Structure 1
């Protein structure tokens, strides 16, 4: 790992994009090694903390960097040029900060201030269990004196080795109905352990291990939300629009990085008609991915400007349509980049092979292709979408 010291964000420090650009080559140093050994990118998280990126999304009034959604998306897109795994794992922390920050700014929700202030002051890392805690919820909550006993296995908990708080939930059966309780679980609490079992096709350095909650006690006061399981809640309309706009900025960055690598390889060879066609098709796909992500950003910004900033099914539909298009065109961009690079790109040393595997992760975040199409179809036909997820 590089021992370079980075300047935290202050009024006199470089802008957020400039700070991130300085990080890119440092993040890249260990990217291949982390991928080859399935090792979490812990050293890169140290660099992110040094640079002040952990608190970038906390409002300046609460001690953070004050970055908005567009700036955070740019941060994650650029980080992906250095290390896909670092950018994707960090997007999970970033969206867990951006969501309460959005609610504080647009819904005047004072209850989120302690968490945001703690992120800014202590640079704690928030984990998302979104892979296993989507609309239906997962795990079991049992009522006990003063709170709940939680037993669960949370999969795809990216960044687990570095996490301080797991933002998660569990299903409570009560009066014949299923509810999901939401809470923050301290990663060092008795009853929590990380299974180092992340062995995946791509994004191998994200440390997306399973987290076991074995008899974890959560007091009543720690439950932030109780909602019905299996149907959209207004909070999830906020989560889905903000979180996936940030996550898919990473995949856009992966596609851009692959494009740059392929062009660097192609320029070393005499240009042929086939090379021109591949390069043009690649850039066309990348432009489509950029336009789709821009649509996602514009949707959230438009909703944020609405009086009261009330979430809506329409905003979810717009963002999730953009998510599908970013994934489709980003994946195709990297496929064409590999073709353009030719045999040299097939070698691990080029880095394209790793990017080709990393971009496949874009297929698997909610809403995946089937549910997204059903959601969009129901919206088009004026049918209910409350149970499509």
Structure 2
């Protein structure tokens, strides 16, 4: 069954069905630090990867709010899968706003809509840190005849084992910075398996190595100014992911509290006021986080292009509040479960590690808070 033929609620039901198998595989992928190829292939099979692609480009063009809810559902099963596919979903959602060469745009979007091809950006580098900070890429693009030749190293290239297209930022001889489209299998492209973290281990965010990679002249698809970017509603896939992880932690805590009954008590620990208080705090935070996240996304869906340019603060605040709430929710869930939450057999310890990664996804907390303050002083 394909998602495009279903209603929004039916899409959620189908994603929930597939999420069951994602959840069953999550422990293995985390322990082995392996990429969840099966999950990605199943999402392709049901047409998930073209849902956010604009209709004018052959996709379904579903609203941001709708696909964020699907991202949250995926994250309740496996945060790494949600975060990985979220980058693709977000980038392709705004391809109709790009001034790419027609032949390149047609080629890419046709592959995405008909074959489920995957796209992500490689912009972070060891020497520059997050591209949102404004660092100029050390990756170089040189004009050789009518072609471009790229050399450099990119880090944090999420989902790189499964990518078909990669947008690479590079500096040019004229001091400009551009994004270049590289296709899977291009000569000189290799992956160095450097992803050795304790969080989001299944994203396979390895280093991408470019060694004299030759690409056609029209694969320079965009010129940019480092650190200068218009607001992007699709980046809300990040808090949606961590909200899903927080929900999974709450569900685990409720299940444990409902069944765990030490012989010192007449019944399960769910009857203890202190446990009820923690579960209640978590539910309150989840409700608040959802209202904020989906309130901002609904405003984005209804806004004009001009109105969206004024939404940077709201987008940043949504990420800030939701991700920080997720940290607290997972922590409280672990307090409910106690020392058993630290066992490697318990998913809570994975949620605890994974949810920490949200602090290091853009925009960073300090940047959001400084921009808010500056908007008041200006």
> Matches of 1:76 and 1:179 in 2, distance apart?
35
**Number of the residue aligned with 2:262:** none
**Number of the residue aligned with 1:126:** 119
1:301 CA drift (Å): 2.1
Say if 1:278 and 1:340, in contact at 8 Å, map to a contact too.
yes
1:110 CA drift (Å): 7.0
1:31 CA drift (Å): 0.6
State the superposition RMSD in angstroms.
Answer: 2.3
> Matches of 1:43 and 1:19 in 2, distance apart?
16
Q: What are the residue-to-residue correspondences of 1:114-193 with 2, within 5 Å?
A: 114-132=107-125, 133-134=131-132, 135-138=134-137, 139-174=139-174, 178-193=175-190
1:310 CA drift (Å): 6.6
> Matches of 1:131 and 1:295 in 2, distance apart?
30
Q: Deviations over 1:280-330 (max 9, x none)?
A: 22222222322331243134224xx32x55752x31122012111111111
Say if 2:63 and 2:301, in contact at 8 Å, map to a contact too.
no
1:131 CA drift (Å): 4.0
- Cα distance change, pair 141–116 in 1 and its aligned pair in 2 (3 A): same
- Cα distance change, pair 376–218 in 1 and its aligned pair in 2 (3 A): farther
> Matches of 1:172 and 1:378 in 2, distance apart?
33
Say if 1:191 and 1:215, in contact at 8 Å, map to a contact too.
yes
1:27 matched to 2:26: no
> Matches of 2:331 and 2:295 in 1, distance apart?
23
> Matches of 1:300 and 1:72 in 2, distance apart?
13
1:217 CA drift (Å): 2.0
> TM-score, with normalisation over the residues of structure 1?
0.86
Say if 1:261 and 1:350, in contact at 8 Å, map to a contact too.
no
1:215 matched to 2:212: yes
- Cα distance change, pair 152–118 in 1 and its aligned pair in 2 (3 A): same
| 1:36 corresponds to which of 21, 31, 40 | 31
Say if 1:182 and 1:226, in contact at 8 Å, map to a contact too.
yes
Q: Deviations over 1:133-165 (max 9, x none)?
A: 444342222232213321121111111101100
| 1:9 corresponds to which of 3, 6, 14 | 3
- Cα distance change, pair 349–293 in 1 and its aligned pair in 2 (3 A): same
Say if 1:99 and 1:242, in contact at 8 Å, map to a contact too.
no
Equivalences, count: 360
- Cα distance change, pair 137–50 in 1 and its aligned pair in 2 (3 A): farther
**Number of the residue aligned with 1:249:** 240
1:243 CA drift (Å): 3.1
Say if 1:131 and 1:365, in contact at 8 Å, map to a contact too.
no
Say if 2:4 and 2:47, in contact at 8 Å, map to a contact too.
no
Say if 2:53 and 2:89, in contact at 8 Å, map to a contact too.
no
**Number of the residue aligned with 1:296:** 296
Tell me the SS of whatever aligns to 1:40.
coil
- Cα distance change, pair 369–282 in 1 and its aligned pair in 2 (3 A): same
What are structure 2's unaligned runs of at least 5 residues?
126-130, 260-267
> Matches of 1:378 and 1:347 in 2, distance apart?
45
> Matches of 1:40 and 1:361 in 2, distance apart?
17
1:203 matched to 2:194: no
